[in-house]
Structure 1
């Protein structure tokens, strides 16, 4: 791979500008304004990051999380490619390229979660589970739906992914001008494709991070292929995808701990105790061990300073300061992970996450494990997820049964017809463009995609409101 192709400015729909223009923005900076002005981006403010249905004013939403990822990604781009330029690691990189790369990463952080459904990652899990339970049972014309669909079509629902939905939303569903979505640059779109494989290509045992999940749907295979051929990142990740992933990991791993302490899911004492007793042996070498010990000592030092200053909540003050410190450590570690493995990344053969090959590996693991044990496995979160599950079960039952019969020769009930009239006109238009002239199996597939498209476009508040209204709950 080379940066001349990797920084591809191509868009699905070309456009012309006047010969003389005062607009000095590069193409990727233009993407930024398309994103922040979109309704899809604004909806992230009512999609929770970790705490489903929570209405606290402190914890992160998808919007604040995306802003943090955007900031970290841009910072990583500056750190990494300044080093590469200064140390002459790649003669293809210029000063102007660094600006373009940072613009791409800044935009990628904003949109990396834009396709996720309501209620956090729990929503993704529930959609997958619902289709696995119901596709074999639902019928059309006397045949089960799973027998009509091809393996890849069915697999798209069994392995449903917010990552794949983001590509779909950005290239098709944001139907403002035409069927080309936001019409973003191919480099930006390639950067958010963390897993460049279809649902039939998932292989969690391959040892390569790119095969872990699905990155695009059958419905979007043509645009995916056009993107990767244009950038040159064929059968591998775009190099900037590694940086975006690291920025995402740093943002959510540190934020989850800060939010957990703020909301009382874990205490300062539990945090210190776990850091000292549970994870030290995971350090791979002396350098990683020293980095880890410094981080633990820094947390205790911040607490001592807060006590001396007479701060009313020294525990929370210490944790909040420590989170900022750890973010800095992990940013440096991710930068090292990229530059130290630069050749393999550019060859398309690097198989791991950046933090996993750095001295920040144990710190990152500890943060994720503590968040899982104290937050995601708590009774409070289970209760919230059960409530969200009731909403998903109801909406998926109603919408899917109506969509299966929609636009077919089979008669649907008056209620099913009314349900389909609730679906956004944009999604209906996208369905009709995709389904025209297609086979029975493909048309069914696109009608099912219509359901997931509609649900993924909902905010937490809208999904809850629609559930209550259709259930007759006051």
Structure 2
């Protein structure tokens, strides 16, 4: 892969002004323009009311998808600066220029903002609930007296069974966010390529391969044309875009450290539990001391808090320790990319950037600790049960209604019409545009995507409120 192609500024819709016909005073690069398109979008604003870990939390401290995305954006830009400088300093690529380094930083800053923009309400549990709904109900839906499941092509069915927020993000920014026309935000191909974490279809998912790019689907059948165009233009051709590794590392740093901090504030993880886990990690790995001793750093901040007379030295220690860990992980990810530069650029690298670094075990521990102490707790399970009821109800109602939407053979009933009227006109317009000339099978598939498009666009509060209103709960 070559940076000149990887950093393509091409858009699906090019500027209406011919080059040289209009003298522009806009000195922004194309990637800086992407940034302003994103932060001005309603889809980005909605992230302020979407779950990161704790749904519908009333605390101002706890992170939302918006604050998480801002953190990922910041880490991604920092990593881009470090890695770009390493490429220049160590001469890893003779054709790499300082301008390319600047472009990488701008692209990664934007990618961090939109990497979760396709996620449904209620966080990753929302994704799971939608997948399970299709697994349990697609075989029950009927379209004009026939089983909907049997009418769909294999990839269409698998798309629904493996519904994925990452694939939805690509769909949203390329088709659903109506800015000028049906091309969504019309972002640069370099940016689109960087957010495609898994460059495989739903028929090509192979988590057992051990290659990180094969874990989940990266695009829907409905969006295959833009996916193929981005791949061909950027020269990735079935491989991960190198910037995707950097974006993923930034996401990992942000959520794994934030989950510990938020869980500490919420009382799920105590200072002593964290210290005990770090002590066990040192024992297991035999890496006491070394380039970064996480236990030593935590104890150091605790003692500093005591010396400063902090009222809550444990809280002081955890918050400062989190910042220290983040800095260390940025160094590890930078080393991971630099050390594996050739394999990444050749499309041969199969792991994340922490693999084989000093930070790998600590990152694994942070993820495991949050899972054990938070995500499997009774409090979270109870909340997820409520979320499941709400999402299942909405999927039931809207999926049944769209079976009769734009259907010349079976007209919608009174309730169906009202249900369909709730769906955003933007989404319905996108359906009409992209269903023109399509087979009945693909139209059926697009009707079902219309449901997931609408539900994924909901905030947590709106999903809850709509459920209450439709079930007459006041």
TM-score range, shorter-chain basis? over 0.9
The answer for the alignment partner of 1:299 in structure 2 is 298
Q: How does 1:277-356 map to 2 (within 5 A)?
A: 277-278=280-281, 280-281=283-284, 283=285, 290-291=289-290, 294-356=293-355
Deviations 1:373-399 (A, max 9, x none): 111011111111111111101100000
SS state at 1:354 partner: coil
Superposed counterparts of 1:87-166, under 5 Å: 87-166=90-169
CA offset at residue 252 of structure 1?
0.1
Give the structure 1 partner of residue 249 of structure 2: 246
Q: Distance in 2 between matches of 1:167 and 1:191?
A: 10
- Cα contact 1:52–1:381 (8 A) shared by 2: no
- Quote the residue 1:361 is aligned against: 360
Structure 2: distance between partners of 1:128 and 1:138: 15
For the 8 Å contact 1:299–1:318, the answer to whether it is kept is: yes
Q: Distance in 1 between matches of 2:120 and 2:222?
A: 18
Match for residue 15 of structure 1?
15
Match of 1:438 in 2: 438
TM (norm. structure 1) is: 0.97
Structure 1 window deviating more from structure 2 (254-263 vs 19-28): it is 19-28
Q: Where does the alignment leave 5 or more consecutive residues of structure 1 unmatched?
A: none
Match of 1:255 in 2: 258
For the 8 Å contact 1:391–1:464, the answer to whether it is kept is yes
Q: Is the 8 A contact 1:73 1:105 kept in 2?
A: yes
Classify the secondary structure of the residue corresponding to 2:390: helix
Distance across 2 between alignment mates of 1:187 and 1:289: 42
Please give the alpha-carbon distance, in whole angstroms, between the structure 2 residues aligned to 1:106 and 1:96. 15
- Give the gaps of 5 or more residues in structure 2: none
**Pairing 1:137-286 to 2, within 5 Å after superposition:** 137-278=140-281, 280-281=283-284, 283=285
Cα distance between partner residues in 1 of 2:336 and 2:81: 14
Q: Deviations over 1:274-317 (max 9, x none)?
A: 11125742x4xx7x664586111000111111112111111111
Name the residue aligned to 2:464: 464
- Alpha-carbon shift at residue 53 of structure 1 (Å): 2.4
Return the alpha-carbon distance in structure 2 between the equivalents of residues 93 and 214 of structure 1: 31
Q: Which runs of 4+ in 1 moved over 3 A?
A: 16-19, 288-293
The Cα offsets for residues 95-143 of structure 1, whole Å up to 9 and x where unpaired, read as 1111001000000000000000000100000000000000011112232
RMSD: 1.2
Report the Cα distance in structure 2 between the residues aligned to 1:290 and 1:443, rounded to whole angstroms.
60
1:259–1:403 Cα change, 3 Å: same
